[in-house]
Amino acid sequence: MKIRFSGLLLLAALLLPTAAWAGMTEAPAYTPLNNAPAWEFTSVGNTLNNGLGYTLGEVFTPTEDIYVNYLGYYYDSATGMVESHTVGLYDAEGDLLDSTVITGSSSYCSPSDEAPVACPTASGTPHFLYNPTQTVELVAGQTYVLEGTSGVIDPYAFNDPGFSTLWPLEIEGSNAVENGGFTLSFNGSSPDEDIGDGPWGADMGYETPEPSSFLLLGSGLAGLAGLIKRKLAA
């Protein structure tokens, strides 16, 4: 009887990870950090669009692993947004990791929100509009570039008071390439402007992993192993 009971417990231990894995989606569960863009500012210092059009980029390095799941572009509440702005996230080699197209109707702060809302700033006025995207993991210590197309009408911002990063990341600087304003391009991972100059076009949002599923699985296996040990000792 002891041998049969022990065998059943061992079988359950083998099947538990399989059952848990079968109930999981392709990616782990995540807990959203609403209203957490990568960077923001309390007020707009200057805006500009000279009709030429650029791809505006920010070069940055996460200080811990993060999971980007929405991308955005600067929104001027005084003029609105009349053009489409393609935003792309690249690694340091120029491989495109994710992209989206931001329009005046793009206003998601997080894909977990029940209704589209703009991410508020300290003043309550949104400076960026967002679209939810697929979840992309960014690894601590590696360099990435976030690019956004300016169009030729909508303005972008620079030299903005109260600028701050809201993520565990370091901004290396920014760069810009004149290309008509509608074609996304990779500007490289070497910035040509410091972070005080901007220009601020693109932005992004992220989530952190929810470890509860894995903690429950680990706790269940540990408890089952203890039970097996006690039954075998008896």
For residue range 21-58, what is the model confidence (pLDDT) as tens digits?
Answer: 333 334 333 334 444 688 888 888 899 887 899 999 99
pLDDT at 41: 83
Residue 109 shares a structural domain with residue 38: yes
Specify the higher pLDDT residue, 140 or 205.
Answer: 140
The count of domains in the chain is 2
Q: Judge if 137 and 191 occupy the same domain.
A: yes
Percent of the chain with pLDDT over 70: 64
Q: How confident is the model at residue 69 (pLDDT cuts 50, 70, 90)?
A: confident
What integer pLDDT is reported at residue 42 of this predicted model? 83
pLDDT digits (tens, 9 = 90+) for 108-134: 665 455 555 556 565 566 788 888 888
Same domain flag for 8 and 115:
no
* CATH number of the domain to which 131 belongs: 2.60.120.820
3-class SS at 37?
strand
- Give the neighbor-by-neighbor strand order of the sheet with 54-62: 96-102, 85-91, 144-149, 54-62, 169-178
pTM: 0.73
Based on the fold, state whether residues 18 and 109 are members of the same structural domain.
Answer: no
In angstroms, what CA-CA distances link 89 with 80, 116, 208, 214?
Answer: 24, 22, 18, 29
Q: What is the mean pLDDT of the chain?
A: 76
Together in a domain, 143 and 226:
no
* pLDDT for the residue 38: 87
Chain segment 195-206, per-residue pLDDT in tens: 767 788 999 987
* For residue 211, pLDDT beyond 80: no
